[in-house]
Structure 1
């Protein structure tokens, strides 16, 4: 099951123009630099001790545990090339993103219509305003439920309402996301 946050993060990380540092020491050095030289904040971010961070910086520790290696890679990828990432977010907020998903969609509509939730495979470009809100909420650390609600509004407008040409007032809910791929245009 794909999550919206992971899909957005993968799309943003794909905009990087250079590879991330390879060695654990270089990765640790980069994270400490992003935290303005604070080994304490870096340790809290990675979930390890401040002394462990200092050992990597001094070159005394070279092989991280699998948990620390995964945390190092995840945090470096999130902080890597912030200006490139910000430019990609601005560009996507102006043009929208393409979302390909397989999920269960349900909706409330006028009486007499069929509103039973069912699995659908949809590929649509989200409107720029919805994209901007989705990316801003993701950056602010919104929950998966909040991101799902925003995605439901955007896909409801783009797919079910045909960008405002039909089914006005339709309220779309997205559940059971089976597959989700976000493409920054």
Structure 2
């Protein structure tokens, strides 16, 4: 998973109304409830059904690092699906999304203009159609490059072209991302 995908997930997690379970047994119980049994959880995590049962009964409390990471990732992916869906829908229909990034931006523009790529820090609100495209692409399993292209198009239109009021032939390249954060 890339920087943009992780940042979109964190933005949605910011609207959760309850904290994600912290202990391994609580996380395991949550997955057992969601997947309706210990066998599907064991298959999902790549462990035995007996191990899952021992976590559920608090007989094991501290998983090894790789299992702890998988467990946390799977619980976060499934946590509060209705809240998650509502936040995505609101961003995609009315509110939009805010992107805060430091990256290298280069341009393809008219001759005589400066098109050398340079590092910039930008914070820009993107309208709902870009939020919708980003979330749809993320849910489809789009690559990091596809997410980056959608974000670049949004920044190009909203920041560099100022909603079509200037630099009409400008094409923006969004590369060398230092960090990127999204907010709903």
Query: TM over 0.5, yes or no?
Result: yes
Q: Which runs of 5 or more structure 1 residues have no equivalent in the other structure?
A: none
Q: 2:17 matched to 1:5?
A: no
Q: How far apart are the structure 1 equivalents of 2:129 and 2:37? A: 37
Cα pair 1:13 1:78 within 8 Å, conserved: no
Cα pair 1:101 1:180 within 8 Å, conserved: yes
SS at match of 2:17: coil
Q: How far apart are the structure 1 equivalents of 2:132 and 2:92? A: 4
* Partner of residue 70, structure 2: 71
Q: How far apart are the structure 2 equivalents of 1:110 and 1:38? A: 61
State the superposition RMSD in angstroms. Answer: 1.8
Give the deviation of 1:53 after TM superposition: 2.3
1:66-105 aligned at under 5 Å gives the runs: 66-94=65-93, 95-105=95-105
Change in 2 beyond 3 A, CA 1:49/1:142: farther
Number of matched pairs: 182
Q: 2:140 matched to 1:140?
A: yes
* Partner of residue 48, structure 1: 47
1:104-123 aligned at under 5 Å gives the runs: 104-123=104-123
Q: Which runs of 5 or more structure 2 residues have no equivalent in the other structure?
A: none
Change in 2 beyond 3 A, CA 1:45/1:174: farther
